[in-house]
Amino acid sequence: KILIVDFGSQVTQLIARRVREEGVYSEIVPFQSAEKAFREMRPKGVILSGGPASVTEMESPRAPQAIFEAGVPVFGICYGEQAMAAQLGGQVEGGHHREFGRAEVEVLEETPLFQDVWRVGERYPVWMSHGDRVTKLPDGFKVVAVSDNAPFAAVADVKRNFYGVQFHPEVIHTPNGAALIRNFVRKIAGCGGDWTMKAFRDEAIERIRAQVGQSRVICGLSGGVDSAVAAVLIHEAIGDQLTCVFVDHGLLRMAEAKKVVALFRDSYNIPLVHVDAEETFLGALAGVSDPEVKRKTIGRLFIEVFEAEAKKIGGAEFLAQGTLYPDVIESVSFTGGPSVTIKSHHNVGGLPERMNMKLVEPLRELFKDEVRALGRELGLPEAFVGRHPFPGPGLAIRIPGEVTKEKCDILRLADEIYLEEIRRAGLYDDIWQAFAVLLPVRTVGVMGDGRTYDYVCGLRAVTSVDGMTADFYPFDMRFVGHVATRIINEVRGINRVVYDVTSKPPGTIEWE
Ligand code: XMP
């Protein structure tokens, strides 16, 4: 077991994720309660996270001193390195050269941390994000790597098994970072590497039972993977204390609502209320073409419809949500700077306060691919678990301009053909997300001997790790041509198809 002491970094969860990837259980605790957690958990190693504070300020956070006196390996990252240095008798100073983003370190000495990863005398890319830096080392420590602006880029006290790095090994921009964390967790702390999603499932079930007790829980299903996995997990924990509510806004893909209802009612026997609210949503969207107004309209209606259903069911104290870790950090930029709203994301935010309910969010620590692994562990069908993400506002944000039932139907069919071809070509799992959009422009074409004047269909497909950045998928153009032919032949209302070759940034994945 590894204890992660959180000093408030934006990316602390990424450390936990890297540790999980090594098959090792970890727990994140805020620094304030780290001492108690350390005593109770008896971890084999401790990782100190980064954080926004400055060690040079009075009252800035510290790790419990007991951690350094217990003979346990400690790995300090960024602020964690500085706190460790300061607490063990070294010095940290602020305001020299701030270093943000890509940097290079040069390795000076071999250490168990670098074993089989970094060689002495070589330079390696790392990701830095710091203003302060260590200027004097505590006794017993040596500098093992330097960068231009951080003379103490990596430090080690090999005897006591204390390591510190100024850079962030947990982010993908430090290419060997995961391997360094592996060395710490497996070789230095000696953790076994046999922790699995099965263990996560069992622990999560225990946590849900402890939190909920005998109370009733309501879960909003969106049709997507996240809320489905959350619902199945919670159902395993508390059985029929859970009721699911599926607000069907009529903006779903082909046959999607039917599939969701069948999966929950028939395969899992989970109590499910299916609310067919297509007319309500399309009615409210009539005449609306501004993307943000659409998103807000759908978000507001979703809450209203859900709330009304919940009232009918009555007596639930908890609201379950499939919130993932990236949803938690979504609107906060990596460097912690103020971020602007690009899109108002639709989830059931706002509901718990309005309805005076407490939240159950069993997936809060996980990333998308981990949720999928958990879904498989829970026995959800592969075809469901591996599905591409689908946005809460659904097809409404794939129909620029006004949304009508007719346009939804046209788009549904085009989208279905596109995805069928992608599956047939064996490309589905290589792609993060693929979908069709329906443009509000008509263009002239010729079919048979007649003139046509119909809509344009845009095809989108991107690769991505987390949806935050993305590249367009480089299809063979013959494949795109084949899909275009099918769509134009089979979908009434479309006579032209274009392929979107925009990456994110500067584009976004969805068109609105
Ligand atoms: P963008 O378009 O912002 O999308 O590049 C990034 C990822 O988020 C999904 N997305 C949403 N998901 N509610 C959701 O649950 C939303 O309002 C929403 N908007 C976008 C999008 O499909 C992509 O995977």
Long-range own/partner contacts, residues 69-73 (CB < 8 A, 24 or more apart) = 70/38, 71/160, 72/43, 72/44, 72/45, 72/46, 72/161, 72/189, 73/44, 73/45, 73/46, 73/161, 73/162, 73/163, 73/184, 73/188, 73/189
pLDDT at 330: 45
Q: How far is the CA of 460 from the centre of ligand 1 (A)?
A: 14
In which element (H, E) is residue 122 found? none
| Distance in angstroms (rounded) separating the CA atoms of residues 462 and 422 | 13
> Which of 509, 511, 512 to mutate for ligand 1's pocket (most ligand atoms within 8 Å of CB)?
509
Q: How far is the CA of 285 from the centre of ligand 1 (A)?
A: 19
Clarify whether 170 is annotated catalytic. Answer: yes
Q: How far is the CA of 397 from the centre of ligand 1 (A)?
A: 10
Q: Sign (positive/negative) of CA torsion 181, 182, 184, 185?
A: positive
List the structure tokens of 244. Answer: 């699911």
Give the β-pairing of 45-48 and 2-6.
parallel
Per-residue pLDDT of the chain (512 residues; tens, 9 = 90+): 999 999 988 788 889 989 999 999 888 889 999 999 999 999 999 999 998 888 888 889 999 999 999 999 999 999 999 999 999 999 998 866 677 788 999 999 999 999 999 999 999 999 988 788 888 999 999 999 999 888 899 999 999 999 999 999 998 889 999 999 999 999 999 998 888 999 999 999 999 999 999 999 999 998 889 999 999 999 999 999 999 999 999 999 999 999 999 999 988 999 999 999 999 999 999 999 999 999 999 989 988 999 899 899 888 999 998 888 766 654 333 333 334 566 666 665 566 677 778 889 999 888 888 999 999 999 999 989 999 999 989 999 999 999 999 999 999 999 999 999 999 999 999 999 999 999 999 999 999 899 999 999 999 999 998 787 889 999 999 999 999 999 999 999 999 999 999 998 889 999 99
- The single residue of 22, 78, 346, 377 carrying the catalytic annotation is 78
Q: Which of 301, 224, 281, 261 is nearest to 399 (CA)?
A: 281
Report residues whose beta carbon is within 6 angstroms of any ligand 1 atom: 343, 345-347, 389, 391-393, 433, 467, 504, 508-510
Domains in the chain: ranges and CATH: 2-188 (3.40.50.880), 197-385 (3.40.50.620), 404-499 (3.30.300.10)
Cβ contact 26:181 at 8 Å: no
